[in-house]
Amino acid sequence: MQIVPKPFDAAAFEPYGECFALRDLDGDRHDFAARMANGRSHASLNVSVSRARPVAGPIKVTALERHDFSAQTFAPIVVGRWLAAVAPTLPDGQPDFEKLQAFVLDETVGICYRPNVWHHPFACFDRPAEMLMLRWDDRTEADTTWAKAPPGVSIEIAAVT
C-alpha cells in the first residue's frame, strides 16, 4: 500500500490534534497556542530538540507510536517540508494502518498530537531539520507505546517532490 501525502489541512488533522501558526511576525504574542494535556501528575515537561536528516525516497512504515498520557507538540526551528502521519485507533487499541493519512507541512505550522494518537515518528524532506518537541514524560516505558505494522503489510509514504 502506498500513501500519497497531502498538503496539510487543519480540518482533516483535527481528530488527531491541533495546529498553530508560526512565522506570523505580527509582533503579537499567541498564548495557549496548543493544549499540552498531561494525564500523570508526576510526569515532567520534556522540552527537547528532535533532529532529522531528510528522507530522499519513500518512507517505509514499520511502526507507529503514541503517547498514552501526554500530548506531543512539534514546533519547527529549522525545517523545509516535514511529515505528519496519523492513524485512527481500532477497537482493540491498535492503530488502523489501512487508514493511515500523511500530511506535508512547512515551517509556518506547528502541531500538537492529542494523547493516544497513533503517529509516525518525525521525518523531514528537503534538508536537515530541527524541531522543538514538548511532551510530558516520567522516563519509563509508559511514555511511548509502539505498534509494529502487521506481518505482510507493506506501507510506504510516497516521496515528496
Q: How far apart are CA 127 and CA 130, in angstroms?
A: 10
Number of domains in the chain: 1
Report pLDDT digits (tens) over 54-110. Answer: 998 888 899 999 999 999 999 999 999 999 999 999 999 999 999 999 999 999 999
Indicate whether 158 pLDDT > 80. no
Confidence grade of residue 148 (pLDDT, cut at 50, 70, 90): very high
pLDDT at 54: 94
Q: Which domain holds residue 149?
A: 2-26+33-157
Q: What is the CA radius of gyration of the chain?
A: 15
pLDDT of residue 3: 87
| pLDDT score at 34 | 87
- Say what the pLDDT of residue 2 is: 85
pLDDT tens, 6-65? 999 999 999 999 999 887 767 777 788 888 999 999 999 999 999 999 998 888 899 999
Confidence (pLDDT) at 157: 81
Q: Is the per-residue pLDDT at 127 higher than 80? A: yes
Position 130 pLDDT exceeds 70: yes
pLDDT for the residue numbered 26? 72
**Which residues, including other chains, have CB under 8 Å from residue 111's CB and lie 6 or more apart?**
13, 17, 18, 19, 20, 34, 73, 74, 84, 105
Domain with residue 17: its CATH number is 2.60.120.480
Q: Are 81 and 106 in contact (CB under 8 A)?
A: yes
Predicted TM-score (pTM) of the model is 0.91
Cβ neighbours of residue 119 closer than 8 Å, sequence gap 6 or more: 16, 64, 65, 66, 72, 84, 85, 86, 87, 113
Mean pLDDT of the 114-137 span: 95
Q: Kindly give, in sequence order, each residue whose CB lies less than 8 Å from that of residue 91, ignoring residues fewer than 6 positions away.
A: none
pLDDT, residue 42, reads 97
The number of helices, as runs of H, and strands, as runs of E, in the chain is 1, 15
**Residues, the chain:** 161
